Each structure stands twice: as C-alpha cells, then as structure tokens.
Amino acid sequence: MNIQPLRDKLAIKPLHEPQFTRSGIALYASEKGRERTCRGEVVAVGPGKLLANGARVPMEINIGDIVYFGRGAQPIKGTPYWSAAQADIMGIEES
C-alpha cells in the first residue's frame, strides 16, 4: 500500500524497542496504552502546510529520518504506520 500524506502530515513506521527489567526481561509497550514518547522512521512526507496567501511552508522532516513522537500521532487503520503532523514531532535523531 502506498501512502501519500497531505499538507504537513507524515507517515511513521514505529521502531518498537523493548525496555528491560533489572533481571533482563524484555518488556514491550502496548500501542493502546502508550503514555511515553515513541520512536519511528518516517516513510512518507506531505508537501507542507499551505498558508492563506498560497505559499507553502516546506517540511523540516525527510523520508528516512528517525523521529520521536507522542500522543498526537494516530494509527493508520489496516497498516503498520502512524500518522502525525509535523508539529507533533518532538525531535529528529541525529546520527
């Protein structure tokens, strides 16, 4: 399935990383009850926000960026991806 986000939206593939207990047991966060920040890879980017004067604000986030996002992101039904506005992204991981 190809996804082309509109305006300032992104499609993100979550990168689920387990958290480990002191004894070494891996705990995976449930997506339904997630309270913390999640990390993911951007797989599609919209063209940018359209202003009232017709100008378009370019996106600061590119395909392939690893980003941190929170509750503003929503799952895209029937896919493993999440949708978020550029404003919902808390940060970009630098390599």
pLDDT by residue (tens digit) across 29-45? 554 554 566 889 999 99
CA–CA separation, 20 and 66 (whole Å): 22
Q: Give pLDDT tens digits for 47-89.
A: 999 999 999 999 999 999 999 988 788 888 888 889 999 999 9
pLDDT at 25 (0 to 100): 66
Are 75 and 31 a contacting pair, CB within 8 Å? yes
